[in-house]
Amino acid sequence: MPLVAGCANNPFYHRYVMVGQVVQASEGRTVVCIGEPKGAEVGQVLDAYRVVFRTDVVEEGESDWAREWIGKVRIDGIIDEHFATVDVVEGKIMKNDIVELEYL
């Protein structure tokens, strides 16, 4: 476990596993929490997901929640060690959506 926690602050983690959350989504300005500026880079594309409640669950033990892909954002500026502004490339992004580094 310490190995995994230690990885969260290294460049490999931010380049290949970075996950964040939309903290502001208003007309003309979308801000995400991304970790630290050394990990996020202007131009990176992040997939956006929304957590949705599933009504089609039929098997016991199956999760009632799912991540639904809703679009993409591109980092256009780093605000500080935790936040960045993004351009919405595709989809309708809302506050509390999850953003995750696009896997190539």
Q: What is the pTM of this model?
A: 0.74
User: For residues 102 and 46, is the Cβ–Cβ distance under 8 A?
Assistant: yes
Task: State the average pLDDT for the chain.
Answer: 81
Beta bridge partners of 96: none
DSSP string, the chain: -HHHHHHTTSHHHHHHT-EEEEEEEETTEEEEE-S-TTT--TT-EEEEEEEEE-S---STT--SEEEEEEEEEEEEEE-SSSEEEEEEEEE---TT-EEEEPP-
Question: What is the average per-residue pLDDT within 51-59?
Answer: 82
Whether the pLDDT of residue 9 is over 90: the answer is no
